[in-house]
Amino acid sequence: MTESDIVSFCRICNAMCGIVATVDDGQVVRIRGDESHPLSRGYTCPKGRALGVMHHHPLRLNHPQAASRVDQKSGMRLMAPISWDESLDDIAEFVQSVIGESGPDGIGMYLASGSAFDTNGRRAAERFLTQAGSIQKYTATTIDTPCKPLVAELVGGWSGLTPIWDHEHSKLLILVGSNPVVSHGHSNAIPDPVRRLRDFQNGGGRIVVIDPRRTETAALADVHLAVQPGSDATLLGFVVRALLNDVQIEEVRARADGIDELVSAVDRFTLSFAADHTGLSESQLSELLNDVRSAGRVSVLSGTGSSMNAAANVTEWLIWALHIVTDSYDKPGGMWFNPGYLMQLDSRDWQPSDGVAERGPVSRPELPRRFGEYPCSGLVSEIESGNIRVLFVVGGNPVTALPDRERTEAALLTLDALVVLDVVETETTRLATHVLPVAGQLERGDLTWLLDSYQLAVAAQYTPAVVDPVADRRTVWKVFAELGERLALGVLPRGFTSENATDELLFGPILAKSRSDVATVMSASSAVVESGAVYGWVTERVLPDGKWRVAPSDLLAQCDQLLADSPIPPGSDRSAELKFDRLLLLPQRRMRTMNSQLRDVAAPGGRTETPAIVMSPHDAQERGIANGDHAKVESDFGITTGRVAVDANMHSGSIGMPHGWSTPDVSRLTSADSGIDPLTGMVLQSGLRVSVERADD
């Protein structure tokens, strides 16, 4: 057969870059960027180019499996092949039995990043849980980014508000703990990041990166401010304080409530205080302030560098405060809110939320329930207490994502049924009672649905399946539809069954509510763009009484606590009391992997990722550690090991580690019981104090 090219889009990260897959007799022989794509413009990263290799991965799951017993030596379940009918019948029996004995909340579901990029699958999975009557929903949101929906809800009235960089009109972009050259944005999607950032600079824009490490993005920036780890909030507080002294307060009052409380909260962030705690000079701080003043309106984006530590909520809140004080939200030249091509958020009537959390799960009532889900920090305790007896894992690997790995593994092994829907073997499939092989992203049709409002334009794209599913792989929506039919649960939209539905037919109800019609999106040769930035709909339709709530009491209290807990700067009278032999753990994204995805495959001609404990030359030398040495990292909660990479770009006093790996494994350093953010329930996976020492191989 001859080769054929099929236009599609990548579903690894929020950028969702356009791709072209070359297929020859069912084999995906090449992936390249789609040059006609209006946002990614022919760009794709190593992850996207590895999709063909991933499709043919030797660890791909091909047939349903069920556990026969647990191997006493390895602690893993021994799996045996089983038919789809046998597997679904068995799972349905478990679900029905548990609901009868323990009620619907005996059924839980963990939905991770893999499910976020499967429109029909995610919708069917959530519908299944809802129809079963369970509220035991857990997602990856509470692992690395709950500060963003929290602050959006408290300040703007709705947790789904996502500020988007106005790359066409803004003059100043500030990146706080964000490295889009590698990550392609966090919430904000930034495809083709290097060229896009350079285009912004060539058009007169200025880029400031605030990050302890000289990241790949910092190397491109006009200014890199190498702050002390964890001091982002202090820096932002200083800027907000100074700007409040500049502006006409009555003008700010006209668009925001709580201005007096904000003024009081940031009053302590003086120039000298900020210099002491950030490690920056007063002149560096003053130059940043001058940049903001000169720009007028600003665009500030945060990433996992700031969203996974104890100051995450305060940092995100001060970013929102900075935008509100400078009148940068919902206005040209600042940040806009993408209403979505498919979701059309600007056509709805909104009832602002009061931001009050619900009670947590039965075993952890002190944890907050927000956004219609429980925080992942409560999942293991719910299993241990017997409240969750059947757990569905959709597109995720909780063994390497949740805190306290040994405890997590032990809990998962006690479940009546652990049902894992995935494309490859993982640390979690090895503990499952049922492993269900599902179609990979190249084997199913899709829409840019769930992350519709994260894009740099009001745009959408449809893709058909690039290749047909092979072996016994099935789409996630079909799995839940068939399971629902066994349990008399309506999982699919009215009129659809597992037999008469297709990927494309299920897109019909979504596209019928979009900005155009089914034919416009599904017949387009690439992404369809309705417009660039749009303004005003949040101010008019979402904000409580048309105003931002700039000083939520919970965030004011956390700001007070942050100031009370601020570390003593080196050189101060009390600095000798601190133990400086411990280092701060910082998160790191990797170019070739997305958490635990793509860890052992590479694009043709490329290389696989090598995880490492990244240390500065000074910290490594002080501990007698050389590049490539084996090291032990110990926190207050656990120990992990790995190879060391000595990197001059790493900030002294900290180490960097990627998430989603078994060696080194960040999860072993964390706890579900201690170090939990009280407002979101997030486990703190950054800013932990750790000791590092050389270890024998």
Domain boundaries, the chain: 4-55, 65-143+371-531, 147-342+541-557, 567-694
Q: Tell me how many degrees the CA angle 122-123-124 measures, rounded to the nearest 5.
A: 95
Helices 476-486 and 119-132 cross at an angle (nearest 10°) of: 20
Question: Domain 567-694 - what CATH class?
Answer: mainly beta
Q: Is 529 helix (H, G, I), strand (E, B) or coil?
A: strand
Q: Tell me how many degrees the CA angle 473-474-477 measures, rounded to the nearest 5.
A: 155
Structural element, H or E, at residue 619: helix 617-622
Confidence at residue 1, expressed as pLDDT on a 0 to 100 scale: 55
Confidence at residue 595, expressed as pLDDT on a 0 to 100 scale: 87
Helices 282-295 and 271-278 cross at an angle (nearest 10°) of: 110
Q: Do domains 4-55 and 65-143+371-531 have the same CATH topology?
A: no
- List, in order, residues 6 or more apart from 369 with CB less than 8 Å away: 357, 358, 359, 360, 361, 375
The C-alpha atoms of residue 407 and residue 410 are separated, in whole angstroms, by 5
Cis status of the peptide bond prior to 149, with omega within 30 of 0: no
The C-alpha atoms of residue 229 and residue 672 are separated, in whole angstroms, by 23
Within 13 A of 24's CA, how many CA atoms are on the CB side? 6
The C-alpha atoms of residue 259 and residue 271 are separated, in whole angstroms, by 21
Please give the biggest Cα pair distance in the chain: 77
Question: Is 65-143+371-531 a domain of CATH 3.40.50.740?
Answer: yes
Task: Give yes or no for a contact between 432 and 418, defined as CB atoms under 8 angstroms apart.
Answer: yes
Q: Number of H helices and number of E strands within the chain?
A: 25, 28
The C-alpha atoms of residue 560 and residue 431 are separated, in whole angstroms, by 43
Q: Both tokens of residue 624?
A: 């007698």
Task: Give yes or no for a contact between 189 and 15, defined as CB atoms under 8 angstroms apart.
Answer: yes
Region 147-342+541-557: CATH code: 3.40.228.10
User: Averaged in consecutive runs of 10 residues, what is the pLDDT profile of the chain (697 residues)?
Assistant: 90 96 95 97 96 93 89 78 97 98 98 95 98 97 95 97 97 97 93 97 98 96 96 97 93 96 97 96 98 97 95 98 98 98 95 95 98 97 98 97 95 97 96 97 97 96 96 98 98 97 97 95 97 97 95 97 72 39 89 88 89 96 96 96 97 93 94 94 92 91
Task: Give yes or no for a contact between 412 and 428, defined as CB atoms under 8 angstroms apart.
Answer: yes
Task: Give yes or no for a contact between 111 and 396, defined as CB atoms under 8 angstroms apart.
Answer: yes
Q: Alpha helix locations (H) across 487-596?
A: 503-512, 518-522, 537-541, 553-564
Task: Give yes or no for a contact between 329 and 335, defined as CB atoms under 8 angstroms apart.
Answer: yes
Task: Give yes or no for a contact between 143 and 595, defined as CB atoms under 8 angstroms apart.
Answer: no
Q: Is 86 helix (H, G, I), strand (E, B) or coil?
A: helix
Q: Tell me how many degrees the CA angle 50-56-61 measures, rounded to the nearest 5.
A: 115
Rg from Cα positions in the chain: 25
The C-alpha atoms of residue 330 and residue 541 are separated, in whole angstroms, by 12
Task: Give yes or no for a contact between 528 and 516, defined as CB atoms under 8 angstroms apart.
Answer: yes
**4-55 topology per CATH:** Phosphorylase Kinase; domain 1 (3.30.200)
Which residue from 38, 3, 6, 10 is spatially nearest to 20, judged by alpha carbons? 6
Q: Tell me how many degrees the CA angle 134-139-143 measures, rounded to the nearest 5.
A: 140
The C-alpha atoms of residue 463 and residue 238 are separated, in whole angstroms, by 47
The C-alpha atoms of residue 21 and residue 406 are separated, in whole angstroms, by 40
Task: Give yes or no for a contact between 189 and 456, defined as CB atoms under 8 angstroms apart.
Answer: yes
